[in-house]
Chains A and B, each alone.
Chain A
Amino acid sequence: MASIELVDLTKHYRQGKTVVRALDGVSLEIGAGEFVSVVGRSGSGKTTMLDLIGLLLRPTSGKVLIDGLDAGQLKGNRRADVRGLRIGFIFQEFNLLPALNVVENVMLPLRYTKSNVKDGRARALELLEAVGLEDRARHRPDELSGGQQQRVAIARALVNRPTVVLGDEPTGSVDTQTSQELVGLMRWLNRAEGVTFVVVTHDLDLAGRTDRMIRLSDGRVVNDEPVRQAA
Chain B
Amino acid sequence: MEILRNLGRRKLRSSLTILGIVIGIFALTTMGAMSEHFNVLFNFAEEWYSSSIPVGSPDGQAALQPLSKIGEIEKVDGVAAAFPGYSFDMKPGQVTTVSYSIPDTIVAYDPREAPYEAVKTSIAHGRNLTATSRREVVLGTGVANEFKKSVGDGIDLPVRPRDAKLDFVNHPFTVVGVLHPTGTVPDSFAYISVADAQLLFKDVVPAFMRDRVDTTTVAEGITVYGRPGTSLAGLDRIADRINQQVPGVKATRPSDLVSSFRSGGATFTAITTAAAVLALVIGGLSVVNTMIMSVIERYREIGLKKAVGAHTQRVLREYLMEATLIGFLGGAIGYALGVGLTHMINVAGRSSNLELFLVTPKLTAIALAFAVALGALAGLFPAFRAARLDPVLALRTTN
Contacts and interface: CB of A to CB of B under 8 A. Distances in A.
B307 A54 contact: yes
A95 B311 contact: no
A51 B392 CA distance: 7
B312 A95 contact: no
Interface residues of A, number: 27
A209 interface: no
B165 interface: no
Given A51-B392, A91-B395, A112-B305, A99 B310 contact: no
Given A56-B391, A91-B395, A99-B9, A112 B309 contact: yes
Contacts of A99: 2, 5-6, 9
B301 A112 contact: no
Given A56-B391, A91-B395, A100 B2 contact: yes
Contacts of A98: 9
A111 B305 CA distance: 10
B2 A80 contact: no
B253 interface: no
Nearest to B310: A112
B304 A95 contact: yes
Interface of B is mostly: helix
B227 interface: no
Contacts of A100: 2, 5
A97 interface: yes
Interface in B2-43: 2, 5-6, 9
A185 interface: no
B135 interface: no
A100 B5 CA distance: 8
Given A98-B9, A99-B9, A100-B2, A112 B391 contact: no
Interface in B276-321: 300-301, 303-314
Contacts of A16: none
Contacts of A111: 310
Interface in A71-111: 76-77, 80-81, 83-85, 89, 91, 93, 95, 97-100, 104, 108-109, 111
B311 A77 contact: yes
Contact of A83 (B2, B307, B312, B395): B307
Interface of B: 2, 5-6, 9, 300-301, 303-314, 391-392, 395
B311 A80 contact: yes
Nearest to B5: A99
Contacts of A109: 308-309
Nearest to A97: B301
B9 A108 contact: no
Given A57-B392, A91-B395, A97-B301, A80 B309 contact: yes
A93 B324 CA distance: 31
Contact of B307 (A56, A76, A77): A56
Interface string A114-144: 0000000000000000000000000000000
B25 to A, nearest CB: 26
A42 interface: no
Contacts of B304: 89, 91, 95, 97, 108
Nearest to B301: A97
Contact of B309 (A57, A84, A93): A84
Nearest to B398: A93
A104 B2 CA distance: 10
Given A85-B309, A97-B304, 8 more contacts: A51-B392, A56-B391, A56-B392, A80-B306, A83-B309, A100-B2, A109-B309, A112-B314
